[in-house]
Amino acid sequence: MLRRATVADADALAGVARATFEETFGTLYSAADLATFLEQHNARDWAAEVADPAFAVLVVELGHTLVGYVKLGPPRLPFTPKTNAIELRQFYLLKPWQGSGLGPRMMDWALDEARTRGVAEIYLSVFIDNERARRFYVKYGFKDVGKYAFMVGNHADQDIVMRKTL
């Protein structure tokens, strides 16, 4: 089931955020850098964002277990939007559910939510070596517009910034 997150989901969102990042990227970083980064995914911060109308969070819940989420929010990437914009800040689904058809449903929600908010552009960033994610975003019409250093602790990764005009 796909549904809007509530503040009551904050603990589960924090857990899924940590789990999806670790399973996707955990082997790329030192334990210290990974721990520093994962501290950002805490229930207190999730609760604040879910309660903030500037954000929109969708959860993917199977049974009573969260297995993925999408988060839209105010742009914070190092770019200058040409028009009113929103950022697709996070888009994660645990590996057992990747390829299940949930990803397209999640993206459809994100694009519909952005349009409902009246924005003209949606931005995201993706790790340069995450080919699967990059192909997924290109399929939805996102185009590369630049690169930036994404920090995981003290480790700088190269991410690609992508934009889609709505």
Q: How does DSSP assign 85-130, residue by residue? A: EEEEEEEEE-GGGTTSSHHHHHHHHHHHHHHHTT-SEEEEEEETT-
Q: What is the pLDDT of residues 25-66, one digit of tens each?
A: 767 777 777 777 778 789 999 999 999 999 999 999 998 899
Place of tokens 């952005």: 114
Domain map of the chain by residue range?
2-121
pLDDT at residue 24 is higher than 80: no
The CA radius of gyration of the chain, in Å to the nearest whole number, is 15
State the pTM of this model. Answer: 0.89
What CATH class does 2-121 carry?
alpha beta
pLDDT at residue 135 is higher than 90: yes
Non-local (6+) Cβ contacts of 154 within 8 A are 32, 33, 36
- d(CA 143, CA 41) in angstroms, rounded, equals 28
